[in-house]
Amino acid sequence: MENIQNISQTLHDKMTRYTNADFGDDDSVNSVQLTEGINSSATHIRYHPGAKLWEVRSNLERILLFLTTFLFIVVIVLSIVVNVVEHHLEIAKDNELKLKSEQPCLNKSCIQIANRILNSINFSRDPCEDFYSYSCDGWLNANPQPEGKRNWGTFMKFEYENYLIIKHKLEQPIATLKSKAEKKAKMYYESCLDTNETVESLGSQPMIDLITKIGGWNITTKNFTIKSWTLQNSLETILNKYSVGALFSYGVGEDDRNSSRHMLQLDQSGLVLPTRDNYLNKTAEHLKILQAYLEYMTKVGVLLGGEQNSTRAQMKDVLDFETKLANITTPSELRRDEETLYHLMTLAELQEKANFIDWRQFFENAMKIVQKKITSKQQIIVYAPGYLGNLTKLIEEYQNTTNGKIILNNYLIWQTVRNFVNYLSKPFRDAEKGLRNALMGTDGGEEPQWRSCIQETNSALGFAVGAIFVREFFNNEAKEYAEIMINNVRSAFKKNFNNLNWMDDQTRKLAIAKADAVSDMIGYPEFIKDVNHLDEKFDNLTVRSDTYFDNNLNIVSYKLRQNLKKINEPVNKTTWSMVPSEVNAYYTPTKNQMALPAGILQSPFYDLSFPASLNYGAIGVIMGHELTHGFDDQGRQYDKNGNLNHWWNNRTVAKFKERAKCFVDQYSNYQINGLYVNGNQTLGENIADNGGLKAAYHAYLELTKNKKEPQQLPGLDFTHKQLFFVAFAQVWCSAMTKEASNLEIEKDTHSPAAFRVIGALSNLKEFSEEFHCRPGSKMNPLKKCEVW
């Protein structure tokens, strides 16, 4: 009894401590209900220590009380143990999930992407000092310029990969192709490859025959006489039959002020060298180019039968004439205001301003091939009336003498020859190497012939080639997601309008309406999937596999006819201006249309397996770039319907120009090889680069708002916001020869690749925040430029 009592007391003490600890001091909680051995239906006994209470119990009662208490304790202990185990299991599960989320993505796609990015980055460079070098040095080291290439970058490398796909299909049996148009593309490709050596065996004969048809050339034609020659007849033949841009160029396009109709358009033209500076600047480098050009002209003339000394002397006269043309040509940086360029007049009014030919007769001759009538009341848009006035005076000087007329004819025939000379045998193609080397720092090398032939085929029959490319290679799911991306970028672009305090409310509303109205063309035009429609498009084009020179004459004539057919016809604003396999994109202001061909909607710019950060940083910025072109210094002049229209408030225009001037000054301070970037010439592209980057980044932020950070890429200690900027920069990794860089600065409307990255990122405060760049560092200047 003593032992039982001691055990019971011990249990009671433990029980009391446990219940008080968990539930407080309320004694009523500690009562125990007994039902066995008690006659009353319900007896509640308060559980208090005391010998007398224990002593009055029978042995059976004592045993039952002990067992009940023991079992109660066991149940509580087990409950505690179970709860503790479950809690630890939950923690372990949470830790496992957390650990898993912190682990990098290790699937095949992530590993490949990470490897590409890692191999491109130079971690020894400071991203806050030069983000282009930081992002691209590795790529440049791993991808040296191929011999003969003036430039080499991600765009060109990617384009060549597309060429390989097209090559594989065009070299399959002709029966595997689905349409007549595709078969014509294959035949053109074979004629370019010249597997039967027809081009080599013909030598100069195709060009000599062409010169004879045009009327003869004093350099190569025996007993040539200028007596029966007229400028009128020569221009009608050369421009209206062979589409050579000599003295001027013309075509049919959308009327800038009424974009629903097609109109005749006339502009300055006629220089062979890339820029007017090549003729007018007298630096040693430019004189070297002029000398190389004269050597090229002379070589071609001699290959066509000219005598060396006579040919050189006559070509020197042609070069002097071109130099005078360059002198009256308006520089491209002064031709950015669309409203001042546009001059609508009748042919009769044009005749008064530039009477060196009969314009009505000229265009009547042109329209014969499409059976359209022209009168003196026919309206034409003239983009260079000042140039045409000066050209009239220049031609008068040459028309007054026999030798002057010979020089004019020599110039016009030379323009024709140089347009078609690369379709002749190898000696003619090699003749250009010295000029290429002077202009671009390389003579082109011995590039595989198939590669240049794919490029030629794509240029000649691009939609037929595009049908093959899209069918064999393009994923329609990629097209659908690209559409979603464009809409997201557009939404971010529009949303930012509310932050632009320099815009008045009315202009802001109209700008939003224009952004909404921008049509986006993704991948390819639908007609290329319709065999009958595709065949109909190329029905009037004759192509053979053994007539390369004639094929190209036929293609020029075909394209001219297709263009002239549109005169006075309504505009179809869904037509494409770029072929599907092109690694590029564009915006057309008169159609308020942007297009991203299938060729660029591929890795490394875009891939459905990529994280959103990479897609938005690469193709997303390109989408934003094209969208912003509708609001750059030129695109902003066109309204939502594509009409040149003064739809902005004057005060807002002034504010825009003030902000645009910031970009002009910023980019004009960048230099390569001692040459400064032309901030005026590159203004539109710089505005588009900056606006596109900002729109795409904010579209990405909106897409990922309130979402968990995706897994990191293996081996890369970057957040996905940082990866966005790396992806953007690596789009532009490229290298150029010194000569090509100099030519780009003189001619191109785009800034050099490095400054497209540095300029745009240094203006975006979010970049500096993500990479923690101190204020005043090169990538985080205190003064930033912003329009959109």
Question: Catalytic positions, please?
Answer: 626, 689
Distance CA 478, CA 483 (A): 9
Helix then strand then coil, in percent of the chain rounded to 5, is: 60, 5, 30
β-pair partners for 252: 264
47 vs 39: CA distance, rounded Å:
19
**Contact residues for 277 (Cβ-Cβ < 8 A; gap 6+):** 286, 746
Count, residues in the chain = 788
Are 198 and 204 within 8 A, CB to CB?
A: no
For residues 267 and 380, give the distance between their C-alpha atoms in angstroms, rounded to a whole number.
11
Q: Which two tokens stand for residue 785?
A: 């430029």
Q: Return all residues near 676 (Cβ < 8 A) that are at least 6 apart.
A: 668, 669, 670, 745
Q: How far apart are the first and last CA of the chain?
A: 95
Four-point Cα dihedral 529, 532, 535, 537, nearest 10: -80
If residue 361 lies in a helix (H) or strand (E), which one and from where to where?
Answer: helix 359-367
Sequence-separated (6 or more) residues with CB below 8 Å from residue 577:
586, 588, 595
Residue 708: closest CA among 97, 114, 117: 97
Pair of tokens at residue 325: 């043309």
Quick check: 474 and 601 in contact, CB under 8 A? yes
Q: What angle do CA 720, 722, 726 make, to 5 degrees?
A: 110
605, 599 contact by CB (below 8 A): no
DSSP secondary structure letters along 217-273: -TTTSTT--STT--HHHHHHHHHHHH---SSEEEEEEEETTEEEEEEEEEEE---SS
Could you count the other beta carbons within 10 Å of the beta carbon of residue 174?
12
Under 8 Å between Cβ of 598 and 465: no
Q: 5's torsion region: left (phi>0), alpha (psi -120 to 50) or beta?
A: alpha
Q: Which two three-digit tokens encode residue 774?
A: 């101190």
| Cα–chain center distance at 596 | 8
| CA 680 from centroid of its chain's CA atoms | 21
Angstrom distances, CA of residue 604 to CA of 138, 161, 331, 530, 601: 16, 11, 36, 30, 9
The first and second tokens of residue 22, run together, are 């968990």
| Token code pair at residue 254 | 């959308």
